[in-house]
Chain A
Amino acid sequence: MAKETNIGELIVQLQDGNEAALSQLYDLYSGSLYGLILKIVNDDGLAQDILQDCFVKIWKKANSYSSSKGSFFTWMLNICRNKSIDELRKIERVRTGKDNLKQENVYASTGTETNISAIGLEDHIAKLTEDQQIILKYIYFKGYTQQEVSDELGIPLGTVKTRARSAVQELREIFVSILLLWIAKSI
């Protein structure tokens, strides 16, 4: 009989102080969380430190999570994103003035990305317009506010909002179409 991968049950166990639950959650989510952190800080060593800190925080703050706050996955993603952006800003503060010319390339992460190449997801992500990709990069991966993006790129605030929204809509369509393709291809 199938053992259900029941996330809800795991969360309850985690909130009860069960270390094995954390271990299982690590198995399920560490890849995505690590991928996100790497994309933000673009440094293996730092990314590992951040992942460790974040899992300690997930453990410590487990009781502050409730399903009314959305999915547990998103809750963890937010912890990792916030921490990574904090760290990135620390680095950038140090770096500012030294090599302003060096562009951090958020899209070139170091590790080997799983899943993507096999199904041509890269091509699909490339469907996002360059404008949409830049907005995602600045807002989601660098933590800029809309106003900061508007100032930095010299585009009106309204345009930033429209592009931010359309980027998410496009992603949503991409993932639905990948899934449908995936079904169609294999029948």
Chain B
Amino acid sequence: MDCKEYIASGIIERYVIGAVSDQERREVECMSSIYPELKDELHAAQSTIESYMESIAVEPPAGLKQSILESIKNIEQDPSETKGKIVSMKPDKAESDQPKIVEMKPKSRLNWAVAAAVVPLIGLGIMYFGERNSRIEANNQLAKVEAETAKQFEDSLTGLRETLAQNEAYQELILDESTQEVLLAGTDLSPESQARVFWSDAKKQFMLVSDRLPAPVSSKQYQLWAIADGVPVDLGVLDKQSTIVSPKEIDLENIQAFAITLEKNGGSVKPTLDQMYVVGTI
């Protein structure tokens, strides 16, 4: 099939707003699962509708979220077909909790004789184990102190190792000859703001230094975006405690710009266009 021709027919655009017959709908769903080219086209068209819906977003009333979260508490999720078939590996509770009844009644004299012989042995055993227990306890105390010291040492060592690894990662990216520094300059909204992205197209890695952004209010958080092929791609929200985003891989082609917007905590799916603090093109 000629994908280009199919796309040019406009059926995908019609599909995303529901302007197709049932037969056409099935056709688009089937075709796009076979041809990646169609799938991409379909996603691009869907993302247009998503952008449109973002643009008409209205904040629902405050109490609604709580009411929804309350109401799902008592609602079981429908299992998916495959999930239903998975057999639980947990033992059946009713079975394993049942106490095992052990027959203790001696059956013959011989058993009594054996028992008589065993009793002194048990006595000796108790003495031995008593002695052994106090030694074990002392050893345990010692081991505990040792373990604590070792743990403290280990913790600080781990901390140092992490810092070192982090610094090495920074250095490796920043010193790489393929890396370029992209200066994100403050917008009209916040002319004083500034941030720097170090981006290596060859390594597909970036890191961010954002030490010159105003502290956000508690309900807001900064979010980093790449603009690739004219489309904003979420690169994650910025930790409020840290002004550095460690090197991260991103699989993006044709990045044109990086930008930071101020979003609600947890970030947004699409950037809030009038809340952009800094931006810089490559």
Query: Which positions 37-70 of chain B face chain A at CB distance < 8 Å?
Result: 42-61, 64-65, 67-69
Instruction: Please name all residues of chain A whose beta carbon is closer than 8 Å to the beta carbon of B71 when the two chains form the complex.
Output: 52, 56
User: Across the interface, do B53 and A1 meet the contact criterion of CB distance under 8 Å?
Assistant: no
Chain A, residue nearest B256 (CB): A183
Type the 1/0 row for B245-272, where 1 means its CB is closer than 8 Å to any CB of A.
1101000000011010000111111001
Given contacts A164-B17, A178-B273, A183-B279, contact A31 B60 (CB under 8 A): yes
In-complex Cβ contact of B43 among A63, A70, A81, A179 (8 A)? A70
Instruction: Please name all residues of chain B whose beta carbon is closer than 8 Å to the beta carbon of A31 when the two chains form the complex.
Output: 54, 57-60
User: Count of B residues near A, CB < 8 Å?
Assistant: 82
Given contacts A63-B83, A70-B43, contact A167 B17 (CB under 8 A): yes
CB distance from A19 to the nearest CB of B (A): 6
User: Across the interface, do A36 and B56 meet the contact criterion of CB distance under 8 Å?
Assistant: yes
User: Across the interface, do A187 and B279 meet the contact criterion of CB distance under 8 Å?
Assistant: yes
In-complex Cβ contact of B13 among A4, A169, A182 (8 A)? A169
Chain A, residue nearest B47 (CB): A71
User: Across the interface, do B281 and A187 meet the contact criterion of CB distance under 8 Å?
Assistant: yes
User: Across the interface, do B51 and A118 meet the contact criterion of CB distance under 8 Å?
Assistant: no
In-complex Cβ contact of A135 among B19, B46, B54, B236 (8 A)? B19
B10 at the interface (CB under 8 A from A): yes
Q: How many A-B residue pairs have CB under 8 A?
A: 232
Q: Most A CB atoms within 10 A — which of B20, B60, B235?
A: B60
- Cα of A74 to Cα of B49 in the assembled complex, Å: 8
In-complex Cβ contact of A112 among B21, B58, B269 (8 A)? B58
B131 at the interface (CB under 8 A from A): no
Instruction: Please name all residues of chain A whose beta carbon is closer than 8 Å to the beta carbon of B46 when the two chains form the complex.
Output: 70-71, 74
CB distance from A65 to the nearest CB of B (A): 9
- Cα of A17 to Cα of B75 in the assembled complex, Å: 10
Q: Most B CB atoms within 10 A — which of A27, A51, A172?
A: A172
B-side binding surface: helix, strand, loop or mixed? mixed
Chain A, residue nearest B241 (CB): A1
CB distance from B106 to the nearest CB of A (A): 53
Type the 1/0 row for A148-169, where 1 means its CB is closer than 8 Å to any CB of B.
0000000000001110111111
User: Across the interface, do B276 and A186 meet the contact criterion of CB distance under 8 Å?
Assistant: yes
A91 at the interface (CB under 8 A from B): no
Given contacts A64-B78, A161-B14, contact A48 B53 (CB under 8 A): no
Chain A, residue nearest B274 (CB): A118
A-side binding surface: helix, strand, loop or mixed? helix
- Cα of A150 to Cα of B156 in the assembled complex, Å: 73
A11 at the interface (CB under 8 A from B): no
Chain B, residue nearest A124 (CB): B55
User: Across the interface, do A1 and B246 meet the contact criterion of CB distance under 8 Å?
Assistant: yes
Given contacts A3-B237, A55-B72, contact A116 B55 (CB under 8 A): yes
- Cα of A31 to Cα of B85 in the assembled complex, Å: 37
List the interface of chain A (C-beta within 8 A of B): 1-5, 7, 15, 17, 19, 22-24, 26-36, 38-39, 48, 51-52, 55-56, 59-64, 68, 70-71, 73-74, 77, 81, 109, 111-116, 118-119, 121, 125, 135-136, 139-140, 143, 145-146, 160-162, 164-169, 171-172, 175-176, 178-180, 182-183, 186-187
7 tightest CB-CB pairs across the interface, nearest first? A63-B80, A31-B57, A165-B10, A118-B274, A2-B236, A168-B13, A111-B58
Q: What are 26 A-B pairs at a CB distance below 8 A? A: A2-B208, A2-B235, A2-B238, A3-B239, A5-B236, A5-B266, A5-B269, A29-B269, A30-B65, A35-B53, A35-B56, A35-B57, A55-B68, A56-B72, A59-B72, A60-B78, A63-B79, A64-B78, A77-B53, A139-B19, A167-B17, A168-B14, A175-B51, A182-B273, A183-B256, A187-B281
